Every structure is written in C-alpha cells, then in structure tokens.
Amino acid sequence: MTLSVPAWKPRYLKPLVLAGLTLVAYAAAINRDQTLPWAIAAILLATLITGFAWPHWLVKGLSVTRTGPQRAEEGETIHFHVEMRNGGWLPRFMVEAVDRLPFVGAALGMGGMGDKTLGVVAYIGGNATRSFDVPVLCEKRGFYQLGPVGLASSFPLGLAEARRHTNGGVQTLTIYPDVFSIVALPLSGTPSEIHRGGFLLPEGTGAAEFSGLREYRRGDNPRHVHWPTTARLNELMVKEFEPLASASLYIALDLSADANVGQGRHSSFEYAVRIAASIARYAINNNMPVCLGGGGSRRLAIGLGTGEAHFSSLLDALAVVDADGAIPYAKALQDVAMRCRHGQTVVVFLSEPEARVSATIQAIALLRARGANVLAIAFERESFLDEAARPHQVRPSPWVGLLDSGVTYLTLRNGDNLVSAFNR
C-alpha cells in the first residue's frame, strides 16, 4: 500500500442533491393520491439516512495503531506498521486508516495540510485484526509531531464521511539533513594526511608548524622534501609538521530570513544545511575538530569537537535549525572573527540580497585579517526564484571579488548536483 494525499472534493454536494430530491418526492406524493410517489420518497429518505448513519457505525468499535522509526534521513524511505482491530462481532468494510504526517509534502512547502490516508482495509471480520506496512518518503529535514492516527469511512454511498481519531500513534520523528559524500576539500588536515598531500596547507601558520626533519618514506608529499639537507646527506629528507590547535573547522550558517530564497527543500537555506552537514561529516571522518554557529531567533552554537557523538549533536542541531533571524550575516561573521582561532578554516554561505553584499565582503576581509582561511559557498539567488520572478538579464555574481582576497570560492545554482560540485 502506498501513502496518498486525498484531493479536495465537494463532500456536501451529493447529500444536498439527495436531500433536495427527497423533498421534491415528498412534495409530489402529498399532491397525488398514489402509492408510487410515497414509495419513491421513502426509498430516497432511507438512502439518505443510511448514507449518513452507516459510515459512523463502521468506524465505531474499531481501533488502529501506527508504529515506526523515530529517526530518519532526508530522502530515506521509512516504513510504518499499521494495525487495525475490530472489537465488535460484526464485520466492517472499506475503512481507511488516516494519519497526521506533517513531513509529507514538506519538500514543496505543503507540509501539515490535513490528514493523509495510510491505506484502506476492504474487509475486517468480527474480533479480528488486520495489519499492513506503509512506505513513506522523508521529504524534508525537521522535527515532527506525528499522529494521532485515526479512522475514516464514507462507505457505502459516499454521501458523508465519518472520522474518528484515537490516542494511538502519537510519536515524534526527527529527519536529519541529507549527507552526501565529500572526497576532498581545501581544509586544514590531520598530521597523517598532511604529509601525504591529502589536505592543502593554508598560507601562513594556521594548520601546522615545522618540527624537524626525517627520512623520506613512501607516500610522503614531494613538496615537503628539504633539498639542502637532502643534497648534504645524499639522502631524501622531508620536513615534519605538528598540527596546531587551530587546525579546525568553523561552519557559519546564515540564519537571516531575507537571505533565504526558494521554497521547501529546494530553497537556498536547505542547500546550505545539507552542505554544512556533509562538510561536518567530512571533518569528523578526518579527525578534524569542527564547530557550528549562526545567529537566528535562537542562537546556534555547537562548540569544537570530534567523534561520532559530536557529529550526532551537530545533526540534531541541523535537523531543526531555521532561517528565521533578523541579524545581518555581516554582523554574525564579525562575531565569528572575534572568536575564531588563527589558521582556522571558516565556511561561509552567501545568498544575501545585493544591498548587503558590501558589508558581508568587509566581514570576510576581517576574517582573513584575523588569520582565518575562508571557504565561501555562494548561491545564485536568481536560480532559486520562481521562473516568473527571475530577471531577464543574467548578472555577474557579486561575490567574484572574493577571489582576489585569497578566499576559496564555489558557486552553486538551484538543481546542481552537490556530489559533483564538491568532488570535481
């Protein structure tokens, strides 16, 4: 069985038409001294009563429960187990299991719109139980309150629909951002990877400092060969580095409401959250300390840490964070500049209105002046707008000037494949 979102239908049209016909039939019977008009009127009235009363009897005496996972990831298909029990001795027919699943339709910004049909049980005998599984796509990250699950029926005539909600199936579901694989990024690395060229050393002394020389070993980066000593000893010698505490990553999200463009899962902020989660995954995999920050209606602040427990804390925060703040990104980046360590890599997300571009560029310059390395993810705002709202003329990106200040820069459009964009 598959989940469906029922379309709106004029539920009152049929009973109103039937009620009108019944009144017409009785009016005709009163004016005629004949049996047939009275019989027709009686049949129409019985049909009207049956169409309203029977659905309520069908859902009476039934109970339904729904169980499922409490955690999932965007794009994952989870399965709910639905069990319907008939506590009466008479059978029931054509009863729907309905549920409140606010994450269904959330990818298009239509989450939480009424009950969703989990499935229809065509027949359930007296004192019997029927169960089925329902696959549901987790469309958009978030923390959702599910249920209660209920019952609905409009059998047999579809004149009226009876609904009854039970106390079963009330649970929470946390949907985490979709995490994609990143093979390499120009970030500060760990000592085992620095020598093998797996990471790019930043300019200056941010990631590691020289600690001595040693013999060349297979797999060492040739750029670290110390040629004067090699020539003197007639043996390949390489420079050895020790990582500094600043070899870490700061992910700075822009939580201002007017910086977010687009709808649902296809907005610039949702792209930023998925990228932030994936970069955090990459850092944790490479034993790189990572922290997360942002200035929204509620301040986002997850301190530096490593390991899977820390990554779980990051995911919990990213699952519920929202672009609902009023603090300009430039102000948030100025606060980051005051707290970040020398040589730390700061990941920034650029999707602001053009009026605030200049202030944000100045804040990024302050980050660079404080010794931070900056990885900038710039979103092309126009690509996230509705086609009717897009400007006719393609304008150059307002962020290209960042390249001159030594900022690593990546531009993304709505619909871009993030795996390809980050693994070129």
Q: Which residue do the tokens 């070899």 mark?
A: 247
Mean per-residue pLDDT for 229-243? 82
Q: What is the pLDDT of residue 113?
A: 63
Residue 9 has pLDDT above 60, yes or no: no
Query: In the predicted model, what is the mean pLDDT of residues 67-93?
Result: 94
Task: Among 23-27, 88-92, 381-385, name the one with the lowest average pLDDT.
Answer: 23-27
What is the radius of gyration, based on Cα positions, of the chain?
31
Which pLDDT score, from 0 to 100, does residue 214 have? 86
pLDDT over 50 (residue 2): no
pLDDT of residue 261: 92
Contact between residue 125 and residue 91 where contact means Cβ atoms under 8 Å apart: yes
- For the chain, the structural domain boundaries read 1-176, 208-243, 249-422
What is the rounded average pLDDT of the residues 87-94?
92
Please compute the mean of the pLDDT values over residues 104-125 and round it to a whole number.
Answer: 81
**8 Å CB contact between 153 and 95:** yes
For residue 115, what pLDDT is reported?
81
Q: Given a cut of 80, is residue 4 above it in pLDDT? A: no
Q: Which fold has domain 249-422?
A: Rossmann fold (3.40.50)
Buried b (16+ CB within 10 A) or exposed e, 384-397: beeeeeeeeeeeee
pLDDT at 242: 56
- Who contacts 148 (Cβ-Cβ below 8 Å, separation ≥6)? 100, 165, 166, 167, 168, 169, 170
Mean pLDDT of all residues in 107-124: 80
Asked whether the beta carbons of 120 and 157 are under 8 A apart, the reply is no
Contacts with 341 (C-beta within 8 Å, 6 or more apart), sequence order? 245, 246, 248, 371
Average pLDDT over all residues of the chain? 84
pLDDT at residue 187, as a whole number: 56
Of 17-31, 91-105, 131-145, 168-182, the poorest mean pLDDT is in 17-31
- CA-to-CA distance for 167 and 261, rounded, in angstroms? 39
Among residues 349, 406, 407, 398, the alpha carbon closest in space to that of 378 is found at 349
Residue 224 is predicted with a pLDDT of 85
pLDDT attached to residue 323: 92
Q: Which pLDDT does position 389 carry in this prediction?
A: 54
Tell me the CATH class for 1-176: mainly beta
Is 35 exposed, middle or buried, given 0-12, 13-18 or 19+ CB atoms closer than 10 A?
exposed
Question: CB–CB of 292/276 below 8 Å?
Answer: yes
In this predicted structure, the answer to whether residue 77 has a pLDDT above a threshold of 90 is yes
pLDDT exceeds cutoff 70 at 372 = yes
Domain 1-176 and domain 249-422 have a common topology = no
Q: Pick the closest to residue 45 from 77, 81, 20 (CA basis).
A: 20
pLDDT beyond 80 at 7? no
Q: For the segment 139-148, what is each residue's pLDDT rounded down to a tens digit?
A: 899 999 998 9
**Which ranges in 206-356 belong to alpha helices (H)?**
227-233, 268-285, 308-320, 329-339
Element (H, E) at 148: none
Question: For 112-137, what is the mean pLDDT?
Answer: 90
Is a pLDDT exceeding 70 seen at residue 3? no
| pLDDT confidence bin for 193, thresholds 50/70/90 | very low
| Gap between the Cα atoms of 268 and 30, Å rounded | 69
Q: pLDDT per residue over 373-414, tens digit each?
A: 899 999 999 889 876 555 555 667 788 778 777 788 899 999
pLDDT more than 90, % of the chain: 46
pLDDT, tens digit (0-9, with 9 covering 90-100), for 314-371:
999 999 999 998 999 999 999 999 988 888 899 999 999 989 999 999 999 999 998 8
Cβ contacts of 367 within 8 Å, gap of 6 or more: 333, 336, 337, 340, 346, 348, 374
Rounded Cα distance, 153 and 161, in Å: 5
The answer on pLDDT for 191 being more than 50 is no
Q: What is the mean pLDDT of residues 12-17?
A: 72
Name the most confidently modeled range: 41-45, 103-107, 408-412: 408-412
Instruction: Confirm if 161 and 58 have CB atoms less than 8 A apart.
Output: no
pLDDT of residue 73: 94
Q: What whole-number distance in Å separates Cα of residue 187 and Cα of residue 375? A: 8
